[in-house]
Chain A
Amino acid sequence: MADVAETSRSAPPQPAKKRGQLVEMNWDPITRIVGSLGIFTKIDFDNREVAECHSTSSIFRGYSIFMKNKDPRDAHFITSRICGICGDNHATCSVYAQNMAYGVKPPPLAEWIVNLGEAAEYMFDHNIFQDNLVGVDFCEKMVKETNPGVWAKAETTAAPHAADHGFRTIGDIMRALNPFTGEFYRETLLVSRMTREMFCLMEGRHVHPSTLYPGGVGTVPSVQLFTDYLVRLMRYIELMKKCVPLHDDLFDFFYQALPGYEEVGRRRILLGCWGSYQDPDKCDYQYRHMTDWGRAMFVTPGVIVDGKLVTTDLVDINLQIRILLGSSYYDGWDNCETFVSRDPLGNPVDKKHPWNQTTLPARKSGILTATTPGSCRRAGSTSAPATIWRSTPAVAPSRGCGRQRSPASSTSATSRRPATASRSICPRPR
């Protein structure tokens, strides 16, 4: 397939227009994310355009440096600590990579336990992100402050699914999302705890699991374990019957009340996913079979460029990943050792592939920012490639495609913070 990493990274050329006065607007730190991110913009309000936008990540830790020469079996314990909300994701990927490196396949029940644990993590993450982090952007307090006209409308707009979720007006929904005082905000916190209990049942503790090992899990699979999980799962599903229509009503209202809001985050459709949930009947963790077991994952891998699915082949997806330094403060590693020149199937591996990356922080004045791993110019979920044990010829499949992390390249200044559609939840410098 075409090497999409080589194509130009700039946006399509705009017709020349008279530039209005530029207003500097900065949001540093961005709050209600996990990680550190600052957004700095220059906005042309006359032309309703963001003229310039830079993002910065203001923490450097050095995982790819201090993990060198450590026992590879320690890898997943360490890489879990990359992130405090999705660390288990990193640990799972690392375990997948170790399985491939050591040539081991976990027992099927171990695979199911990991799948259930990661499924619980999705449930937890979606809830806490949606209604305790992002949801605050849509709460009464926020909307009243930033869009009083929209708030007034919300108070008098009936919620179409009131019978399902119990909130009579959109304003009632927004009130329920107020941080700490909002009833749905607090209910979500309780749900996020229950789903983390489900996670703890399968993986021991949250966020950094205790029971994951290469080749299997230490979790004791008892009748009680699965009963405890199942009972909580059904409570969660019951809550979703309320949660989904509530969000439908809220977001549909925004599209009606704020014409143009649907343009927020609109840019080239670039999505990447390297799959979730192994099928133990199909996955043997061998690189030469990766195309097949990748496609057997319960969330299949894929890359979408400009709205078109271009591949579902994990071997392909892996080989096309590049670490692009962009404007970050790292030195290039072209003169460093090439660790892997060919994959086990004989395909060439690029020097800028994560397997060949060497981290060389440049201590010049300014910010040590994160690198921008890119495939199809998209900064994708970087957990697997950047932390994988270098001798492992694998792309460790990470969680699914809901976690796009892109430095904001186009933002809307209509709300107090960069548009949530293009935000990063977990800008994870490491």
Chain B
Amino acid sequence: MPDSDAVPYGRKTQHEPALKEVHILWLTAGLGCDGDSVSITAASEPSIEEVVLGAIPGLPKVHLHNPVLAYETGEEFLKPWHQTVRGEMDNFVLVVEGSIPNEHLSGEGYWAAMGTDAETGQPIKTNDWITRLAPKALAVVGAGSCATWGGIHAMQGNPTGCMGLRDFLGWDWKSKAGLPIVDVPGCPVQPDNFMETLLYLLRQLAGLAPLIPLDDAGRPTWLFGNTVHNGCDRAAYYEQADFASDYNSYKCLVKIGCWGPVVQCNVPKRGWMAGIGGCPNVGGICIGCTMPGFPDKFQPFMDEPPGAVLSSNLIRPYGAVIRNLRKLTNNTLNKEPKWRHNGPELTTGYRPERTAAP
């Protein structure tokens, strides 16, 4: 019988988070559409409310400062931001959403800003927020392909010269806590991909997880280590050289624009939300939105990728043979064994053993 004064097992094995409270300063004022902020409201693993309300054990208390969701407005919303710039708050993660513009090119004006400088009366440029906050942050996270690589607004012919966080801060940049820039790409970022990464970072800051595993472009390896093709349930059509020639098809879309085989993304594997939807797995060609080369290296989106011409032709003879062989086997397997019938004789192969008389 356990001693009633003994410490419960859980109290011995768990400990206070290394960081009691953490602020998430979420800068949406890059050149963006706010799609990544909207995306996190779609997440359920975990949901944003579960993180903010402390439903996941072991995390620090989270204070979210995202303008799309914030209670405060105007100067009240910006108060913690100004405090952080002044060095009055240092336990924060800076999340950036939207492409970083090139302010060398904006003449006397500016491309992007948030809030007004109280002394000068001028708008505070987004880039200034980043240069002032990044050195003080525990971590800098890029939410979505605009913040990570520049994305749509960085396409050929753009006037703003915009770029991703690594282009702006440096590909080798590290935070004061020793973290490289954490890049969670996607256009928008897949909801659970972002929330899962955020949860990991919070656990790491709480002392519950080791350094987040990132590839050399800062992407969480467990999320972006596989290609679309690896996770696509239409990959079997590819293997059998069964390709769609128009968009009205349930077959492999590689000949009509899908870049799946060379794009690092898990959306076809995990679906868009709650396992529902996605891209090529549900009929939408992969346009490579998680990749640094997006969008230019994938355009025109609806043309067959050059590599697919070669690979689809190479696999045709194999595919044709295998499809036919599988059809043969499938035909065989679609027939029951002969002994299942309603006839008078048992033809199952059962031969009762005769036992010796006692």
Contacts and interface: CB of A to CB of B under 8 A. Distances in A.
Contact of A33 (B35, B68, B151): B68
B157 A205 contact: no
B293 interface: no
Contact of B277 (A83, A201, A212, A367): A201
B153 A365 contact: no
User: Interface centre among A87, A179, A218, A220, by most B CB within 10 Å?
Assistant: A218
A26 B248 CA distance: 52
B106 interface: yes
Given A81-B33, A207-B39, A210-B284, A200 B276 contact: yes
Given A73-B301, A74-B301, A363-B108, A205 B272 contact: yes
Given A78-B295, A81-B152, A180-B52, A197 B273 contact: yes
Contact of B109 (A62, A186, A364): A364
Contacts of B299: 70-71, 74
B157 A87 contact: no
Given A60-B112, A84-B37, A210-B285, A30 B158 contact: no
A69 interface: yes
Interface stretch (A163-171, A188-196, A269-277, A309-317): A188-196
Given A74-B301, A189-B41, A210-B278, A28 B53 contact: no
Interface in B56-98: 67-75, 77-78, 98
A197 B282 CA distance: 13
A74 B155 CA distance: 12
Given A207-B38, A367-B123, A28 B272 contact: no
A30 B74 CA distance: 6
B283 A34 contact: no
Interface residues of B, number: 82
Contact of B74 (A29, A36, A136, A219): A29
Contact of A35 (B34, B71, B249, B272): B34
Contacts of A30: 73-74
B276 A228 contact: yes
A144 interface: no
21 contacts: A59-B29, A59-B112, A65-B157, A66-B156, A74-B301, A83-B33, A83-B35, A84-B32, A136-B71, A141-B71, A180-B49, A196-B42, A197-B276, A204-B283, A205-B279, A206-B277, A207-B38, A208-B187, A218-B249, A368-B111, A417-B74
Shortest beta-carbon contacts, A-B, top 4: A210-B284, A84-B35, A200-B277, A218-B283
Interface of A: 26-36, 38, 58-62, 65-66, 68-71, 73-74, 77-78, 81-85, 87, 107, 128, 132-133, 136, 141-142, 179-181, 186, 189, 192-193, 196-197, 200-201, 204-213, 215-220, 228, 329, 361, 363-368, 416-417
Given A31-B71, A31-B73, A59-B98, 11 more contacts: A29-B29, A29-B77, A34-B38, A36-B29, A38-B116, A60-B111, A65-B159, A181-B53, A193-B41, A206-B42, A220-B282
